[in-house]
Amino acid sequence: MALPTSETAEKPAPLAARVTEIPAVRRGTRPRVLILGGGFAGIHAAKGLAKLPVDITLIDRRNHHTFQPLLYQVALAVLSPANIAQPIRTIFRDQPNIEVLMDEAVGFDLDERRVHTKSGALMEYDYLVVATGSTHSYFGRDDWAPLAPGLKTVEDATEIRRRVLLAFELAERQMVETGRHPPLNFVIIGGGPTGVELAGAISDIAKLYMRHDFRHIDPSMARVLILEGGPRILPSYPEDLSQKAVDQLTHLGVEVHTNTRVTDVRPGYVMTGEQRIDAVVTIWAAGVQASPLGKLLGVETDKRGCVMVDLHLNPAGYPDVFVCGDLAHVVENGRQIPGVAQPAMQMGDHVAQMIGQDIDGKPRTNFHYFDKGDMSTIGRMAAVADVKWPFKAHWGGLPAWATWLVVHIFFLIGFRNRIAVLFEWAYTYFTFSRGARLITGDTALVGWNEQEGVDAATGSKATSPAQSSEAAETSDAVKQPA
C-alpha cells in the first residue's frame, strides 16, 4: 500500500464542539447526500449512510469498485480483474436509499449546492462527499505517460500485463527467426511500495512461473531494475524494513539502484543523467497527484492538488462538503495523514458518523486516524510489515507475507471475491502456474524496435550478422546505471 511524501504543516486549532446546522436538517426534511467516487472512502461513506434517514446518490465514472492494493497482481497475471473488482450496484443492491450513476463531475457551485456532470445533468445536494482519489504524476513530463504507464486502474493493470507478457513472446519469436533476442530488461521507476511490489512480481513470473513455458528463450535471464531517486526504497517505512526489502529483492534477483534520478524516458530506454539503460518495458511508480476535482472545488489546496480540510474533513467555510481519501490533506498531531487505503476507509466511516450526528442534533467530533501499520509484499513468501496494532513489530519474510495475505483477503469486498482470490493464490502457490496470462489489445510493444538487434522495418530481426553479434554481446553486458 503506497504512502505519499508527507508535507509539513502546522497543527490545526481544536474545533469547537457545537451543533452543525444544515438547512435540510433544520427543516426536518430528508437530506440528499451526493458522493463522488466509488473508491475506499466513497464506498465506506455510502455503507455507513445507508443506515441513516438520508437519500444517497453515488457517482463514479466507472461501474466498479477496484481493490487497488491488489492491482499489481492483475498487472503480473496472478489474478484476473474480476477477482479484485466488484460492480458498485451489486455492493448496494440491498440498500434502497442508495442510487448509483455512471457519470463524472466536471464543475461545482458550492454556494448553490450543485454539481455539474459530464452528461449535462445538474445534481443538487444537502451534503457533498468528494472522494475521487489520485492519479499519476510525471512531474511535468506527461509525454512520458505512453512510454511508462503507471498503476491506478484496472485498465493500467491490463496494459502493464500486456507489455510484460508481450516482451517474452516477441523475444521467443525473434529467437526462432534469428537465433538471438535483445536483453529482457524491465525498468521500474520509483522505489515506493508499488514499485517494490511490481519488481518482485516480475521477477517471480520470469524465474518461477514461466521458466518451462518457452522453448527457445530462458525467461529467468530477464533483468528487473528499480530506479529510486532517493537514498533508500520504501522511504515511508522504518530504515530496518527498507533494508529487509532490499535484501529480499536482491535474493529474488532484482537490482535496486538508489540515488538514481531518471532524467528522460524514451521508447526502449531511460536516461539517468548521461547513462542510458535499455528497457523492453518501463513502468512508472514514482509519483502521484490529487484528482483534478480538488482544484475545481475552488477551495484551498496544497501543491499536489489535495484539498486542505479541518478535522471534521470540511474545507474552510463549507460544513456541508466533506473531502476524503487521497484527495484530502488532513493534519493530525502535526503530521499529514497518508493517502492510503486505511485512512480512506476510516474517513468514509467518519463522514457517515458526522452526518448522523447532525441529524441527531449532536456536535461533530474530530477525525482520528487509527494507524494499524503498513505492509508491502515483495514476492513469493517475501514481504515487509510495520505492525502497529495490536502490538508493535517489524517483520520481514514469511511472517510478513502471511500477514499480508490474511489482511488483503479480509478487506476484499464481496464473499465471492475472497473465495476466488484465495483459490487463485493457493493454486498458484502449489502448481507454479498462473492462469491469467492473457495478452489482449495491440501486439506491438513500445520501444521494441529500438532494442539492439531488432530491425525497425520488421520488428523481428537484426539487419546483419554483425548486428546480431552486437545484440548478443549487449545481452551479456548491459550498461549499468550510475
Q: Looking up cell 528463450, which residue turns up?
A: 217
- Per-residue CA distances from 68 to 65, 178, 197 (Å): 9, 41, 13
Gap between the Cα atoms of 86 and 74, Å rounded: 14
CB of 47 within 8 A of CB of 56? Answer: no
Q: What is the 8-class DSSP label of residue 449?
A: G
State how far the Cα of 431 lies from the Cα of 254, in Å rounded to an integer. 23
**Euclidean distance between the first and the last CA atom of the chain, given in angstroms as a whole number:** 29
Determine how β-strand 275-278 pairs with β-strand 122-124. Answer: unpaired
Which entry of 159, 197, 228, 424 is annotated as an active-site residue? 197
Question: For residues 358 and 23, what is the distance between their CA atoms, to the nearest angstrom?
Answer: 11
| Grid coordinates given for 68 | 487497488
Q: Which three cell numbers stand for residue 105?
A: 463531475
Number of CB atoms found within 10 A of residue 250's CB:
11
φ and ψ at residue 419, rounded to 5 degrees? -65, -40
Listed residue (356, 322, 319) closest to 48, CA to CA: 356
Catalytic, 197? Answer: yes
Kind and range of the H or E element at 395?
A: strand 393-396
Q: Are 395 and 387 in contact (CB under 8 A)?
A: yes
Work out whether strand 382-387 and strand 373-379 pair parallel, antiparallel, or are unpaired. Answer: antiparallel
User: Cα–chain-centroid distance for residue 16?
Assistant: 36
Angle, nearest 10°, between helix axes 398-411 and 415-431?
150
DSSP string across 335-380: EEPP-SHHHHHHHHHHHHHHHHHHHTT-----------EEEEEEET
Q: Which helix (H) or strand (E) holds 410?
A: helix 398-411
Q: Which residue, chain included where needed, has cell 492494493?
A: 69
Q: 433: number of CA atoms within 13 Å, CB side?
A: 5
Distance (Å, whole) CA 323 – CA 310: 10
Which residues are catalytically annotated? 197
